Homo-oligomer: A and B are copies of this chain.
Amino acid sequence: MSESDFGEQLRLAEALIFASATPTGARQLTQLLADGVDVEAVIAALRDRYAGRGIEIVTVAGGWQFRTAPDIAPRLRRVIQVPRRLPRVAMETLAIIAYHQPVTRPEIEEIRGAALSQTTLDSLLEADLVAPKGRKETPGRPTLWGTTPQFLAQFGLPDLRSLPPRGDLLVDAPPIHPPAEPPPDEFPPSPVSC
* Interfacial residues, chain A to chain B (CB-CB below 8 A): 10-16, 18-20, 28, 31-32, 52-55, 66, 68-69, 72-73, 75-76, 78-80
Q: CB < 8 Å: which of B14, B16, B20, B28 contacts A53?
A: B14
CB distance from A100 to the nearest CB of B (A): 34
Extra contacts, 19 of them, besides A11-B53, A11-B72, A32-B78 (Cβ < 8 A), are A10-B54, A11-B52, A12-B54, A15-B72, A15-B76, A16-B54, A16-B80, A18-B54, A18-B55, A18-B66, A18-B68, A19-B55, A19-B68, A19-B80, A28-B79, A31-B78, A31-B79, A32-B75, A32-B76
Most B CB contacts (10 A, CB to CB) among A14, A54, A72 go to A54
Please report whether the interface of chain A is mostly helix, strand, loop or mixed according to DSSP: helix
Q: In whole angstroms, how far apart are the Cα atoms of A154 and B75 in the complex?
A: 29
- The residues of B that contact A28 with a CB separation of less than 8 Å are 79
- The residues of B that contact A31 with a CB separation of less than 8 Å are 78-79
Closest chain B residue, CB of each to CB of A11: B54
- The residues of B that contact A78 with a CB separation of less than 8 Å are 31-32
- The residues of B that contact A15 with a CB separation of less than 8 Å are 54-55, 68-69, 72-73, 76
